[in-house]
């Protein structure tokens, strides 16, 4: 039997640190929306995850 974690958050990218709290994954702070989008896409590519936009200035990258 193979046991593994199938779905988990790899990273959070935000422009406002007050919108996120500690939870065990890295949080990256972007200066503007363009930098945030680029950072999220690059992290997703490197980490093998998918970017999700919460539409409140917070993106998270998760593994499905």
Residue 3: pLDDT over 80: no
- Average of per-residue pLDDT across 41-47: 96
Supply the pLDDT for residue 4. Answer: 61
pTM of the predicted structure, to 2 decimals: 0.85
Extract the tokens encoding 36: 């945030």
- Average of per-residue pLDDT across 9-37: 93
Supply the pLDDT for residue 48. Answer: 92
Q: Report whether 43 contacts 61 (CB < 8 A).
A: yes
- Average of per-residue pLDDT across 47-58: 94
Please give the backbone phi and psi of residue 57, each rounded to the nearest 5 degrees, phi first: 90, 10
Supply the pLDDT for residue 41. Answer: 97
């Amino acid at each position: 039997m193979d046991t593994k974690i199938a779905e988990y958050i790899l990273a959070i990218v935000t422009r406002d640190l007050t919108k996120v709290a500690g939870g065990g994954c890295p949080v990256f702070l972007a200066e503007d929306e363009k930098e945030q989008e680029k950072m999220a896409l690059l992290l997703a590519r490197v980490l093998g995850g998918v970017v999700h936009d919460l539409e409140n200035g917070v993106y998270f990258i998760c593994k499905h």
